Chain A
Amino acid sequence: MQAANRRKTIGLLVGMGVLMWCVVYAALTYFGGSGAGIVPIAVGIALISVWGSYYGSDKLVLTMTGAKLIQESDNPKLFDLIQEVIIASGLPMPKVAIVIDSAPNAFATGRNPEHALIAFTTGILDAMDRDQLQGVIAHEMAHVANRDTLVSAVAATTAGAIAILSDMLTRMMFFGGRRNREGGGNPLALVISLVILILAPLAAMMLRSAISRKRESLADATAVSFTRNPAGLRSALEVLAADSTVVQQRSTAVAHIWIESPLDSKSVSKLFSTHPPIAERIAVLKSMESLG
């Protein structure tokens, strides 16, 4: 199960690369030499913006979500549960934070296991019992173990570069930057490149969401390998599914990091969703339970 999810992530990342290549190809067909100059600029902008936030992800997310770091003395019971998962996974102890919000949710971030941060809303701490919370913690630590901050940073960089690139190129079209206006090239190739440029950002976003969904399924599977208790995480997800309140801040920028999507599921179509449907995740965990 974990291996299959990893393979699919790699496949999707390769898909991103192919898409990037298509955009570059389209740029070259349409604009010739002047199009080539834009590629490094777009990649550069995307790299700087995403990797800056990747490197400081633990601090940045704290500000964006309003989470407050806590010490062991603030909530010894929560720290006990985290230590249990730490022992089971062999990972270093993460920083722990609390978001004051009655909607039950949790997230993990940090550029590597040594700089990991996991956060919980006050809502999730109130709503869940020992086993459920242990499952949630294991899910978050699984994100840390699988280095999902890195994976999503790579996905965000590529998707960002594609978006910037197509945006710049479409603008250039309006200013008539195309070479050999009279000579033309193969008209079919020109039309195809135009279509690619318009559709690429959309496709990149879909791929990015698909990667996020795969990483969620992978984290569920990894969490079970830590606790050997699929029932805990399953009943935690059932609590989340039954609860209709959502975390107050609805920024799409950090939507992918929560255990349950903070965005209203009705407003997000399945292709662009950062999380697999919760019923599907529950069904997978149930099948693990029956395996014993």
Chain B
Amino acid sequence: MKTIIVLGVVALIAVFIISQYNRLIRLNITVDEAWAQIEVQLKRRADLIPNLVETVKGYAKHEQSTFDAVVTARAKATTATTVADTAAADGMLTQALRGLLAVAEAYPDLKASTNFLSLQEELATTENKVAFSRQFYNDNVRELNTAVKTVPSSFFAGFAKVSEREFYEVEDPQDRKAPNVTF
């Protein structure tokens, strides 16, 4: 009887350890996958840009500074490797693209061209996908970091070789714009 109880307790502890370990590993893999998704979507956006810039150029030749900003930001975005660098370049590119679309507003012929319309739709969905992949990544990083820092899963973090991960934080002035309050 006694041995059965002891065996039962040992089995319970083993199940507990395995589930904690697996949870950390699974979270870590999800964060990796979420990061890969961000990269896929950023690449997709980068691939859209040359075509978009060419199309806008065809109608709006005198907006060289806007084109330069987009091209520079794109170059930065495609070479960044770390989370922080990628996020910074991503924010810059988002800004530059907004500038480009604002320029397009002033050219009715451009706005009416089917090529531009389909590129605009493509860009809209890609921007959404970038934003959602960011959101999914950050949600999972938050869950992983909480697991790494809180008891009991924190006991197994070293053993599972899982540590805290970096959030993907984009500097977007539009997000931070506080409302102007005048008294």
Whether the Cβ atoms of B132 and A84 lie closer than 8 Å is yes
A-contact bits for B34-77, CB 8 A (1 contact / 0 none): 10010001000000000000000000000000000000000000
* Number of B residues, CB within 8 Å of A: 14
> Hey, which chain B residues are within 8 Å of A88, CB to CB?
132, 135-136
Best-buried of A83, A84, A228 by chain B (most CB within 10 Å): A84
Question: Is residue A77 within 8 Å, beta carbon to beta carbon, of the partner chain?
Answer: yes
Best-buried of B30, B37, B135 by chain A (most CB within 10 Å): B135
Whether the Cβ atoms of B30 and A87 lie closer than 8 Å is no
Q: From the candidates A87, A90, A130, A228, name the one contacting B129 in the complex (CB within 8 A).
A: A87
Q: From the candidates A90, A130, A134, name the one contacting B136 in the complex (CB within 8 A).
A: A90
Give the distance to chain A from B35, nearest Cβ to Cβ, in Å: 13
Question: Is residue A190 within 8 Å, beta carbon to beta carbon, of the partner chain?
Answer: no
Question: Is residue A81 within 8 Å, beta carbon to beta carbon, of the partner chain?
Answer: yes
Give the distance to chain A from B42, nearest Cβ to Cβ, in Å: 12
A89-B34 Cα distance, complex, nearest whole Å: 11
Tell me if A's interface is mostly helix, strand, loop or mixed: helix
Q: A87-B133, A88-B136 are in contact. Are A81 and B34 (CB under 8 A)?
A: no
Whether the Cβ atoms of B41 and A87 lie closer than 8 Å is yes
Give the distance to chain B from A43, nearest Cβ to Cβ, in Å: 32
Tell me if B's interface is mostly helix, strand, loop or mixed: helix
A89-B31 Cα distance, complex, nearest whole Å: 13
A134-B37 Cα distance, complex, nearest whole Å: 19
> Hey, which chain B residues are within 8 Å of A81, CB to CB?
125
Question: Is residue A80 within 8 Å, beta carbon to beta carbon, of the partner chain?
Answer: yes
| B residues 99-127 touching A (CB-CB < 8 Å) | 121, 124-125
Q: From the candidates B34, B37, B135, B140, name the one contacting A228 in the complex (CB within 8 A).
A: B135
A89-B136 Cα distance, complex, nearest whole Å: 7
Question: Is residue B81 within 8 Å, beta carbon to beta carbon, of the partner chain?
Answer: no
Give the distance to chain B from A228, nearest Cβ to Cβ, in Å: 7
Give the distance to chain B from A32, nearest Cβ to Cβ, in Å: 40
Name which residue of chain B comes closest to A85, CB basis.
B132
Whether the Cβ atoms of B30 and A90 lie closer than 8 Å is yes
| A residues 153-184 touching B (CB-CB < 8 Å) | none
Whether the Cβ atoms of B30 and A84 lie closer than 8 Å is no
Whether the Cβ atoms of B34 and A83 lie closer than 8 Å is no
A88-B135 Cα distance, complex, nearest whole Å: 7
> Hey, which chain B residues are within 8 Å of A77, CB to CB?
121, 125
Name which residue of chain A comes closest to B30, CB basis.
A90
A84-B127 Cα distance, complex, nearest whole Å: 10
Question: Is residue B128 within 8 Å, beta carbon to beta carbon, of the partner chain?
Answer: yes
> Hey, which chain A residues are within 8 Å of B128, CB to CB?
84, 134
A88-B138 Cα distance, complex, nearest whole Å: 11
Whether the Cβ atoms of B37 and A80 lie closer than 8 Å is no
> Hey, which chain A residues are within 8 Å of B129, CB to CB?
83-84, 87
Interface of B toward A, CB cutoff 8 Å: 30, 34, 37, 41, 121, 124-125, 128-129, 132-133, 135-136, 140
15 A–B contacts, CB within 8 A, in A order: A77-B121, A77-B125, A80-B121, A80-B125, A83-B125, A83-B129, A84-B125, A84-B128, A84-B129, A85-B132, A87-B37, A87-B41, A88-B132, A88-B136, A90-B34
Further contacts, 4 of them, CB under 8 A, given A84-B125, A88-B136, A90-B140: A84-B129, A88-B132, A90-B30, A90-B34
Please name the 8 residue pairs, one residue from A and one from B, whose CB atoms are nearest each other, closest first. Answer: A88-B132, A80-B125, A87-B132, A84-B128, A87-B133, A87-B129, A84-B129, A90-B136
Interface of A toward B, CB cutoff 8 Å: 77, 80-81, 83-85, 87-90, 130, 134, 228
